[in-house]
Amino acid sequence: MAESAISSSCQVAMNVYELSSAAGLPCEIDPALVVALSSQKSENISPEEEYKIACLLMVFVAVSMPTLASNVMSQYSPAIEGHCNNIHCLAKAVNQIAAALFTIHKGSIEDRLKEFLALASSSLLKIGQETDKMTTRNRESVYLLLDMIVQESPFLTMDLLESCFPYVLLRNAYHAVYKQSISSSA
C-alpha cells in the first residue's frame, strides 16, 4: 500500500512537471527525458540493479572529469563563455540526467548529486598535485566546469561546493583563464 502511494505521488509530480514544461515554464526535472529513459528499461535487470547502474554512471562521470584537463580543446574561452570542446554542456547534462535517472528510480536526486560533487571535487583536487604539465594543461578550465555544474543545478548550492572544493581554487582558475585569454589575444 505504501509503495502504491509513493508510485501515485511520483506520477502526480511527473504530471505537474509535464504541465509546467508544456506551458513553457522551467522545470527541475525534464519530463521528456524521464519518459525517454524510462522506455529504455530492461526487463532482464531488476530495479535495484538499474539503480546501482545509475549511481555507477554518476561515479564514472565524476572520476573521469580530471581526464578532460589533458585535452588541449578543454580550454575555457571567456569570449564565448564556454569551453572550446563544449564540455561546458556537461554541466546541464549531468544535472538533467541525474534528475531524470533518480526520478525514475525514486532515489534522492539531491543526495546523489551531493555524492557526485564530492567525488568530482576529490578527483579534481588530485590533479592539483600532478606535476606533468600535459596532464594538467587545462586544469583551471576543468575547475570552472565544476563551478558550472553547481550553478546549473537546482539541487546543489555554492555552500556545498565550498565544503568540498576550496573557493580560492575557483577564484584563481577564473583569474588564470581570463589572464590567458588576454595574453593570447594580444
Count of structural domains within the chain: 2
Same domain, yes or no: 107 and 77 = yes
For residues 181 and 109, which has the higher predicted lDDT (pLDDT)? 109
For 132, the grid coordinates are: 606533468
Work out the average pLDDT over 74-83: 92
Write the single-letter amino acid at 45: I
Burial 72-92 (b: 16+ CB within 10 A, else e): eebbbeeeeebbbeebbebbe
Same domain, yes or no: 27 and 115 = no
Same domain, yes or no: 142 and 56 = yes
Distance CA 69, CA 79 (A): 20
Distance CA 181, CA 5 (A): 55
Same domain, yes or no: 6 and 20 = yes
Work out the average pLDDT over 136-162: 95
Question: What per-residue confidence (pLDDT) applies to 8?
Answer: 53
Question: What per-residue confidence (pLDDT) applies to 48?
Answer: 92
Output the CA torsion sign for 167, 137, 130, 66.
positive
Containing domain of residue 150, as a range? Answer: 43-185
Distance CA 174, CA 172 (A): 5
For residues 102 and 23, which has the higher predicted lDDT (pLDDT)? 102
The number of beta carbons lying within 10 Å of the beta carbon of residue 70 is 18
Does 22 have pLDDT greater than 80? no
Q: Which of 109, 100, 74 is nearest to 21 (CA)?
A: 100
Does 163 have pLDDT greater than 80? yes
Same domain, yes or no: 85 and 115 = yes
Same domain, yes or no: 9 and 25 = yes
Same domain, yes or no: 19 and 58 = no
Same domain, yes or no: 50 and 120 = yes
Provide the pLDDT confidence category of residue 108 given band limits of 50, 70 and 90.
very high
Same domain, yes or no: 35 and 48 = no
Question: What per-residue confidence (pLDDT) applies to 2?
Answer: 44
